Chain A
Amino acid sequence: DQQVKQNSPSLSVQEGRISILNCDYTNSMFDYFLWYKKYPAEGPTFLISISSIKDKNEDGRFTVFLNKSAKHLSLHIVPSQPGDSAVYFCAASPADRGSTLGRLYFGRGTQLTVWP
C-alpha cells in the first residue's frame, strides 16, 4: 500500500527553467514532509522540509508547497541547473502515533534531467 505517491517517474527540463516535482499522499496522519535528492550509488541527501502548519517553505532555489486539503505537495526548483539532475524522493512522517513516529514513508521517486 503506497501511502506516498510520485506519479511521474521522470521529468525533463531545460537549464534555467523551472522544475516542478509532484507528490501525493493518502494518510491524513502525515504532518511533516521532506524532499531528498539522490545520485546513483549514493545515499539520499536532504533538500528541504515542511511542517503541516505551513503551506510554503523556501530555501534558495528550492521551494516546497503543501496543499493539505488536496493531500498534495510539490517541489519547485528555479532556475534549474544540470547539476540538479538526480532522482528526487518525497517522504512523509506521521504525527505522534507511538512507535511509528520515527519512520519515513517514501515515494518511488522522480528522475529529473536538466539539459543545457
Chain B
Amino acid sequence: NAGVMQNPRHLVRRRGQEARLRCSPMKGHSHVYWYRQLPEEGLKFMVYLQKENIIDESGMPKERFSAEFPKEGPSILRIQQVVRGDSAAYFCASSPRLVTDRMIRENIQYFGAGTRLSVL
C-alpha cells in the first residue's frame, strides 16, 4: 500500500514563473491537506480538500495560490508568479476519515516526503 506520493521532490523556479505541486493521497483516503514549512519553523496549515471540494482554505494566501482535488487524479497546489518568499518545503497529507465523536476521536494525517521549492 503506497504512502502519500508527492512530486516533484525538488522544484526550482525563477521569480514570476508558476509552480505546480502534485499529491496523490494514500489509497482509500479522501481527505487531503497541504502544509508549508519555512526554515526553522513548524508546519503551517494551508488548505484542506475533499474530492472536488475545498473545505478550508483559510491558511492559504488569497493571491497567487490555489488548490484543487479533482474527481480523478492527484491534488494540485498551484503558485502563480512565484516570489523568493515562496521558497519552502510543501507537504501534503491525507487521512481516511475525520472522527469527531469525542469517545473515538481521531485525526491522524499521513504525510508525503514533500516538495522543496526554490525560487531564484
Contact = CB atoms under 8 A, between A and B. Distances in A.
Interface stretch (B13-21, B43-51, B66-74, B76-84): B43-51
B29 to A, nearest CB: 12
B41 interface: yes
A102 B58 contact: no
A99 B56 contact: yes
B108 A49 contact: yes
A42 interface: yes
Interface size class of B (residues with CB under 8 A): 20 to 34
Contacts of B42: 4, 6, 89, 106-109
Most buried by A among B6, B41, B43, B45: B43
A49 B100 contact: no
Interface in A21-41: 31-32, 34, 36, 41
- The 7 A-B residue pairs with the shortest CB-CB distance, nearest first, are A43-B111, A106-B42, A103-B45, A99-B56, A102-B48, A51-B105, A93-B107
5 contacts: A43-B91, A46-B111, A101-B98, A101-B100, A104-B33
